[in-house]
Amino acid sequence: MESLRIDKWLWAARFFKTRAQAAKGCELGRIEANGREAKPAREVRVGDMLHIRNEGGAFEVEVLALSHVRGPASAAQALYRETEASQAARQRAAAERKAMQEFLPAPASRPSKRNRRRIIQFRGRG
């Protein structure tokens, strides 16, 4: 196998939970392949550099292998190598988020049922 659809590879490498989410990420411009915005059907090859932004953070990875099957996490991690700069940036962002937690006041209690519904409606899920 020389190439594979990028949405399928992102799903197999476990950057997204479903292939549909991977395709949506491509459509929203959250995936760049070799410096260009990638569409879901773009072919990815070994050696390509990908810049991926998802809820887990921003990743800059080099494609090491191709797989059309989603396997365990250990197998998925063998499909790519994250750059040192990307790892450092993600660790720095995590440390900043952790440091900000001490400045946020803890809620006095759980939200009421009415407040939970308002939160869900505000986030656009209801």
Domain boundaries, the chain: 3-104
Q: Is 53 exposed, middle or buried (0-12, 13-18, 19+ CB in 10 A)?
A: middle
Arch. (CATH architecture) of 3-104: Roll (3.10)
Q: N- to C-terminal Cα distance for the chain?
A: 43
CA 115 to chain centre: 30
List the structure tokens of 6: 């990028």
Give dist(CA 36, CA 50) in Å, integer: 9
Give the model confidence (pLDDT) of 6-61 as tens digits: 999 999 999 999 999 999 999 999 999 999 999 999 999 999 999 999 988 899 99
At 64 the pLDDT is 95
**Whole-structure pTM over 0.85, yes or no?**
no
Q: List pLDDT tens digits, range 73-94.
A: 999 999 999 999 999 999 999 9
Measured distance CA(24)–CA(62) in Å, rounded: 21
